[in-house]
Amino acid sequence: MKKKLSIVFLLLTFLLVSSVYCYAMDTNFETEMQESANKTGETMQNAGNGIRNATEGIGNMAEDVGNSMVNAAEKVGNGIKEFFNGDDSNSTTGNTYNATRTSADVTGGEASMANTAWIWLILGVTGIIIIALTWYYVSQDTNYNSRR
């Protein structure tokens, strides 16, 4: 009985498998592949055009920035030249421009030495703290690994 059931089951399975219709191959496979390749080519061409347009835009922008900087530098140079030549209509100094240095710095040697000493003291303390923290971290890592 088991033999008959297994033979019937195998025959039914064979009939079902052999009669299955493949819908994926219903259309012309070659045409589908060609259309897919064409669409891929168009996509790549569009991407290339987009990249080319972006690089051209960046190049144009860089050129504009360069030209603007050159023009600004020329204007600053001309303004300085006019100021020191007395050609500036807003300037009353002309060629007699004279400036003295004004500064809030302490001119004594002791005060400047104290500032330098404080800077070196702060740098030294900071260095000692960094070394101590590094030593602590390494020793903690070593202790952790030795307990494993």
Strand residue runs (E) in the chain: none
pTM, rounded to two decimals: 0.33
For the ranges 46-60, 84-98, 105-119, the lowest mean pLDDT is seen at 84-98
Taking the CA atoms of residue 129, residue 135, residue 136 and residue 138 in that order, the dihedral angle to the nearest 10 degrees is 140
Q: What single-letter DSSP state applies at residue 25?
A: T
Task: Say if residue 88's pLDDT is above 50.
Answer: no
Coil/strand/helix, residue 137: helix
Per-residue confidence band for 95, with pLDDT thresholds at 50, 70 and 90: low
